[in-house]
């Protein structure tokens, strides 16, 4: 009869190597897109989760027959789930206008679950889950870019001289790109240089773009307007 508290070295190696492979596949996808948590992070999370699952199931087999000892193979796994949550939170960034890193945090969490599944010996669910994660990260990313309209709020800061462009020209340019003007603000620079130099004025324009890719094109057209000396976009 098979002893549930014992694992041979062959299966132990298979589980560890499979966790490295599956975690590495997901991490490679994140690495290609220059995310904070990439190939090495996902691989280590998956390997560590697998190792702790193996330890939780088989590491205390010597105490299984001791009186008054009750082993819970899921106890370490529960702690792994909590611990990886902090690691995922570290990949989430709030820039003031948007939140980034949620997908990477979710991928780390799923990779942890894949590692625990491999460590428990459920190879088929682990492999199938890893494939589905890759399909979600690759396939749905293409679907989002093609069919989902991501409207982003952006800010353009224009530096002009004494003769800034008319507001109507800004509105006309934004209309051509189907961008919505949210707010426009004029700021006069304090005189910290010689009085003979022209007085500078900053124009801060906040808009909502239909697509983030339009940011550089609009900034370039703003820069080519008469009276504009420099443009900053974010």
pLDDT digits (tens, 9 = 90+) for 58-112: 876 666 666 766 667 777 788 888 888 777 777 776 655 566 778 888 888 899 9
Q: Which of 84, 227, 234 is nearest to 165 (CA)?
A: 227
Task: Answer yes or no: do 93 and 135 share one domain.
Answer: yes
How close are the terminal C-alpha atoms of the chain, in Å?
66
Task: Answer yes or no: do 40 and 122 share one domain.
Answer: yes
| pTM for the model | 0.62
Query: Once rounded to an integer, what is the mean pLDDT over residues 2-25?
Result: 85
Q: Which position has the higher pLDDT, 185 or 1?
A: 185
pLDDT digits (tens, 9 = 90+) for 169-194: 888 888 888 888 888 888 876 654 55
Q: Which of 202, 174, 179, 178 is nearest to 189 (CA)?
A: 202
Task: Answer yes or no: do 115 and 94 share one domain.
Answer: yes
- Ramachandran angles phi, psi of 81, nearest 5°: -60, -45
Q: What per-residue string of b and e applies to 13-23 under the rule 16 or more CB within 10 Å gives b?
A: eebbebbbebb
Q: In sequence order, which residues have a C-beta less than 8 Å from that of residue 38 and are 6 or more positions away?
A: 27, 28, 30, 31
What token pair was written down for 71? Answer: 């082993």
What token pair was written down for 40? Answer: 């090495």
Instruction: State the Cα–Cα distance between residues 15 and 121, nearest whole angstrom.
Output: 7
Task: Answer yes or no: do 109 and 215 share one domain.
Answer: no
Task: Answer yes or no: do 141 and 180 share one domain.
Answer: no
Q: Which position has the higher pLDDT, 4 or 53?
A: 53
The whole-number pLDDT of residue 198 equals 57
Examine residue 3 and state whether it is found in any structural domain, yes or no: no
Domain count, the chain: 2
Q: Which of 92, 120, 147 is the last residue of a domain?
A: 147
Task: Answer yes or no: do 129 and 184 share one domain.
Answer: no
Instruction: State the Cα–Cα distance between residues 215 and 155, nearest whole angstrom.
Output: 9
Domain with 208, as residue range(s), is 152-233
Task: Answer yes or no: do 135 and 176 share one domain.
Answer: no
The whole-number pLDDT of residue 1 equals 42
Task: Answer yes or no: do 139 and 165 share one domain.
Answer: no
* Mean of pLDDT over the chain: 79
């Amino acid at each position: 009869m098979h002893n549930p508290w014992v694992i041979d070295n062959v299966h132990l190696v298979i589980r560890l190597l499979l966790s490295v492979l599956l975690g590495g596949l997901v991490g490679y996808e994140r690495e290609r897109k220059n995310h904070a948590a990439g190939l090495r992070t996902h691989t280590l999370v998956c390997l560590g989760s697998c190792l702790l699952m193996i330890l939780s199931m088989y590491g205390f087999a010597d105490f299984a027959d001791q009186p008054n000892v009750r082993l819970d193979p899921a106890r370490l796994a529960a702690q792994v789930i909590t611990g990886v949550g902090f690691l995922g939170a570290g990949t989430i960034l709030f820039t003031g206008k948007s939140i980034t890193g949620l997908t990477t945090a979710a991928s780390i969490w799923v990779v942890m679950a894949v590692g625990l599944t491999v460590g428990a010996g459920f190879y088929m669910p682990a492999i199938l889950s890893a494939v589905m994660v890759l399909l979600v990260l690759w396939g749905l990313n293409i679907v989002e870019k093609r069919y989902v309209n991501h409207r982003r709020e952006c800010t353009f800061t224009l530096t002009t001289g004494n003769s800034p462009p008319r507001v109507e020209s800004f509105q006309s340019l934004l209309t051509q790109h189907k961008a919505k003007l949210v707010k426009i603000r004029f700021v006069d620079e304090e005189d910290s240089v010689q009085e003979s130099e022209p007085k500078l004025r900053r124009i801060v324009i906040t808009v909502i773009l239909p697509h983030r890719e339009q940011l550089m094109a609009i900034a370039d057209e703003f820069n080519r307007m008469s009276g504009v000396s420099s443009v900053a976009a974010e």
